[in-house]
Amino acid sequence: MDYTTLGRTGLKVSVAGLGSGGPSRIGQGAGLSNAHGVALIRRAFDLGVNFFDTAESYGTEEILGAAMKDVPRDSVILSTKYYSQDASADRIVQALDDSLRNIGTDYLDIFHLHGVLPEDYDRTVDSLVPALMRERERGKFRFLGITERTSADLDHVALTRALGDDCWDVMMVSFNLMHQGARARVLPKAKKRNLGTVIMAPARCRVSTPDRLAQAITALAEQGALPPAFGETDDPLGFLVHEGGADSLMDAAYRFARHETGADVVLFGTGDLGHLEANIASLLKPPLPKADVDRLATQFGHLKGIGLDQGRGYQTAVP
């Protein structure tokens, strides 16, 4: 495993982070047992992963806790989240206490205010952050994080504002082959300010499934967001797979995110042990060839919202 420092937290984190949300929810999405989820998490740990993320809304905090029961607490970084929208300060504190109990730990390494919307940012900072800082002083968590609402904030407005405030230690930002806006708007500034970054949705749904991605790109070409030629091929990203390049589209997606300047941890979710091992292997490979990364930026850098939410289709936008 490769490790890096998560910004100003000083935490030594694996570049591969295992998430327990998304469509898989470490097997829960497919109806697999809690024991399966525990085994998957332990396998990730055995492979060197030490960054594990969950959330109250995922229903997987208890599974993570069970997997970590016999693991030395200082050998793992535990991260969880709670949706900030419409939550009161009292509710946020209760959510933090609930997560501590669910996971079975005395403290969390990172507690994130989850899915902060631009229009709710001021209230979040003015009301929720002070309440959490008091809990931090009591030792309930070490570092405060913020996550964006992926498909609802395609221009990273909330995180752009967060970059101007000193209360945040870590931020989760969406970034993938077809949604590259964080390269200009978030990651360089986070690096300059020494904030830890966790990449979300590096290979979700349409980005990770060639036929669905081809359908989305055809639609984009029909809408005029891409040149017509993109609608005439069923393998629009085939140029990434070649000798000296990626082995597959999934391999390309993870390597693209992993080696972006300013990215610390790349978060992925899965309920399959084989996928777990393959994803980690990709994250440990060298960067994609520069020519391929440049071509991705030139051809797709203006797009927004592709592959962020399994429940949505696709969205198009240009700067």
Q: What is the CATH number of the domain that holds 86?
A: 3.20.20.100
Structural domain contains residue 313: no
Please give the pLDDT value at position 37.
Answer: 96
Structural domain contains residue 308: no
Structural domain contains residue 52: yes
Min mean pLDDT across 140-144, 215-219, 269-273 is at 215-219
Please give the pLDDT value at position 314.
Answer: 39
**Mean residue pLDDT across the chain:** 92
Structural domain contains residue 314: no
> What is residue 284's three-state secondary structure?
coil
149-188 tens-digit pLDDT: 988 999 999 999 999 999 999 999 999 998 999 999 999 9
| Contact (Cβ atoms closer than 8 angstroms) between residue 239 and residue 246 | no
Range of the domain at 261: 3-300
User: Average pLDDT in the 273-287 region?
Assistant: 97
Structural domain contains residue 282: yes
118-142 tens-digit pLDDT: 999 999 999 999 999 999 999 999 9
Could you give phi then psi for residue 208, rounded to 5 degrees? -95, -10
Structural domain contains residue 307: no
Residues 6+ apart with CB under 8 A from 220: 226, 230, 303, 314, 316
Structural domain contains residue 35: yes
Structural domain contains residue 312: no
10-37 tens-digit pLDDT: 999 999 999 998 888 888 888 999 999 9
Please give the pLDDT value at position 213.
Answer: 79
Q: Report the domain count for the chain.
A: 1
Tokens found for residue 49? 């992963």
